[in-house]
Amino acid sequence: MTEDATSPAALAEEPIQWTEIITPHLGWFDLRLREIWQYRDLVWQFFRRDFVSSYRQTVLGPLWFVLPPLFTTVVMAIIFGRVAKVSTDGVPHLLFFLLGVTAWNYFASCLTRTAGTFTGNAGLFGKVYFPRLTVPVSVVLNNLATFGIQFAIFLVIFLYQWSAGAPVEPNWRIVLVPLLLVQMGALGLGLGCLVSALTTRYRDFGMLVGFGVQLWMYVSCVVFPLSSIAPNLRWVFILNPMVPIIESFRFAFFGKGVIEIWQLALSFGMSGVFLFIGLLLFHHVERTFTDTV
């Protein structure tokens, strides 16, 4: 009945209102971010799935959201504060490390978990189409929620210590905190997308992220303040976009540190660039990655 449908004559019909045209290549800059918005319900469902299922069938349940950073902080306070006697600009050790760890964990988790987007979801991605970016976006939102819980713990301890007369001076830069969160999310997402795109071809990048993030922490002023670095070497650290972020966090709450606004602006710009490159590459890979994974 339709045997003639493929004849050239049939192809020359009047134009049809197609809703979707599948082509071998999309433009590099055709990111289709609107599609993510159309699939916002899916982002929410992924977010919910990860949040609800993460501590099912555990005895301590939601307590697991706050235990790891607290333990890490205590260990750091002992090793770096007591044993190694690292300077904390006079800030109480617990507060100093807790803020650094909470902020760093948010970024690190964004990066490591989005980095596994393609390899970790290969089964799902190979079976059904939806905008792949919904997965890393929901991961970032998920981490943001976790950060919120952990940050609340920090705030409680902070307010308690502050009222008890600890030498901290919260100041106007606190208004920058939401910006810092967006920036860390963007940087984590950008780098994560970048790595996940590269991992589809060469798994080496997946390996790299695992310990790379750990090493990165030690040069990101999480366990020491920037002020403890010799002034003529500080510019090297400023090139690491995470240093101004962590330092800005500390400056906002403790009023101590040597970070300046232009340095934060530089870091902000770098995060934006990484996000852009990451999204480009992610989008370039998502259409054919099932062939190589």
Partner 1 sequence: MAVVIRVEKVSKQYRLGTISRRMLYRDVQSGFARLMGRPDPHEKIVEGAANGSVPGENPDYLWALRDVCFDVHQGDVIGIIGRNGSGKSTLLKILSRITAPTEGRVFLKGRVACLLEVGTGFHPELTGRDNIYLNGSILGMTRTEITRKFDEIVDFSGVEKFIDTPVKRYSSGMTVRLAFAVAANLEPEILIIDEVLAVGDVEFQKKCLGKMNTVAREGRTILFVSHQSAAVENLCKRGIVLKNGSVQFDGTQTGAIAHYVNETTGHRGCLRDRRDRKGNGQVRVTEIEFRDRSGRTITTARSGDDIDVCLHFESQAPTARPDLSVGISIKTYLDAPVFLQNNTLAGERFAEFLPESGTFICRLGRLPLPSASFRIGFYILSRSHKGEYLDAMENAVELHVQGGDFFGNGLSPGITDGVALVEAGWRLEATEPPAEMAADRQHAPTSPQAT
Residue 63 phi, psi (nearest 5): -60, -25
Which residue's CB is nearer to partner 1, number 129 or number 172? 129
Contact with partner 1 (CB under 8 A): which of 22, 59, 215, 233?
22
Residue 59 touches partner 1, criterion: CB under 8 A:
no
Residue 71 touches partner 1, criterion: CB under 8 A:
no
Contact with partner 1 (CB under 8 A): which of 9, 12, 17, 172?
17
Task: Record the tokens describing residue 177, joined without a space.
Answer: 């905190």
Nearest-approach distance from CB 49 to partner 1, in angstroms: 5
What's the rounded Cα separation, in Å, for the pair 200 and 49? 25
Which residue's CB is nearer to partner 1, number 178 or number 291? 291
Residue 56 touches partner 1, criterion: CB under 8 A:
yes
Which residue's CB is nearer to partner 1, number 5 or number 230? 5
Nearest-approach distance from CB 265 to partner 1, in angstroms: 33
Using alpha carbons, select from 235, 282, 248, 292 the residue that is nearest to residue 114.
Answer: 282
Quote the longest CA-to-CA distance of the chain.
87
Residue 90 phi, psi (nearest 5): 85, 0
Contact with partner 1 (CB under 8 A): which of 33, 60, 63, 201?
201
Q: 255-284: which residues touch partner 1 (CB under 8 A)?
A: none
Task: Record the tokens describing residue 291, joined without a space.
Answer: 């062939």
Residue 48 touches partner 1, criterion: CB under 8 A:
yes
Which residue's CB is nearer to partner 1, number 87 or number 290? 290
Contact with partner 1 (CB under 8 A): which of 3, 164, 178, 233?
3
Which residue's CB is nearer to partner 1, number 107 or number 289? 289
Using alpha carbons, select from 275, 289, 293, 287 the residue that is nearest to residue 114.
Answer: 275
Which residue's CB is nearer to partner 1, number 53 or number 163? 53
Give yes or no for a contact between 275 and 188, defined as CB atoms under 8 angstroms apart.
no
Task: Record the tokens describing residue 280, joined without a space.
Answer: 């480009």
Question: Within 13 A of 138's CA, how many CA atoms are on the CB side?
Answer: 21
Q: Please, is 283 exposed, middle or buried when counting C-beta atoms within 10 Å of its C-beta (0-12, 13-18, 19+)?
A: buried
Binding mask 118-147 for partner 1 (x = CB under 8 A): -----xxxxxxxx-----------------
Q: For partner 1, which stretch binds (CB under 8 A), given 11-19, 81-89, 219-227, 255-263? A: 11-19
Residue 163 touches partner 1, criterion: CB under 8 A:
no
Size, binding site for partner 1 by CB under 8 A: 45
Length of the chain in terms of residues written = 293
Following DSSP, what letter does each residue of 231-282 receive, concatenated? GGGHHHHHTSTHHHHHHHHHHHHH------HHHHHHHHHHHHHHHHHHHHHH
Contacting positions for partner 1 (CB under 8 A): 1-3, 5-6, 10-11, 13, 16-25, 39, 41-42, 44-46, 48-49, 52-53, 56-57, 123-130, 201-202, 287-288, 290-292
